[in-house]
Amino acid sequence: MITQEIPTQVKHAELVARRRRQIVDAAVPLFIKSGFHKTTTRQIAGAAGFSIGSLYEYVSCKEDILYMACDAIHAEVKQGVGHVLARTDRARDALAAAIREYFLVCHRMSDHILMIYQETQSLPPQWRKKVLENEIAITGIFVDILARLVSSGELPRMNDKAIELAAHNISVLGHMWTFRRWFLSRHYSIDEYIAHQTRFILGHK
């Protein structure tokens, strides 16, 4: 949880968590709309329903807010995809199902994922590192699925490096829907996109 990582003078821990949630909920749409740099701390405080002074009781700088926003988005993506792993399905279709689930999450959270692509650079190194680790963790879900299917013989043999790269490819092809959406959505529905990309990933069969 973010709450532990950013210092605050406020004692009541549950209040800190609540206010920070308010801050994130206020900030994300603003960052999506105007970008990090053009969004002011006053706007965020206003949208969250308190004053600029109070805002700074819960964060130490504007960058903290961006980090909390990125972290919350990644948490939601993880949660959206995570329950796919729960199904201990070993069928080859398990991969297609996981891809579908993940791509639908990317579709639903298109603006949010795009925002992370655009603003990660604005994070201080320590926060950026954490955000990139989250990205790896999400890719890791696909590494697991692929490895399982390969070892059970549902997918052709691949070495670890090939598996890892395939997992990155799946991650990125999901993101592609978000950062090329301005083009893709004019030519493909999300279902068409998923169908085509699944075929592409599984080897044009």
Site for DNA, rule CB under 7 A: 9-12, 15, 19, 39-42, 50-54, 56-57, 60-62
From the list 7, 53, 125, 156, which residue makes contact with a second copy (rule: CB under 8 A)? 156
Query: Out of 118, 134, 185, 198, which residue is the one contacting a second copy (CB under 8 A)?
Result: 118
Asked whether the beta carbons of 20 and 68 are under 8 A apart, the reply is yes
Judged by beta carbon distances under 5 to 8 A according to partner kind, the member of a second copy, DNA, none in contact with residue 156 is a second copy
Closest-CA residue to 75 (of 11, 2, 148)? 2
- φ, ψ for residue 6, nearest 5 deg: -105, 120
Choose the contact partner of 39 out of DNA, a second copy, none; CB within 5 to 8 A by kind: DNA
The C-alpha atoms of residue 201 and residue 173 are separated, in whole angstroms, by: 9
Site string for a second copy, 135-154 (x = CB under 8 A): xx------------------
Within the chain, where are the H helices? 13-34, 41-48, 52-58, 62-86, 93-108, 110-119, 125-151, 160-179, 181-187, 190-202
Q: Which parts of this chain interact with a second copy (CB under 8 A)? A: 35, 37, 117-122, 132, 135-136, 156, 161-162, 164-166, 168-169, 172-173, 176, 179-180, 182-184, 187-188, 192-193, 196-197, 199-200, 203-204
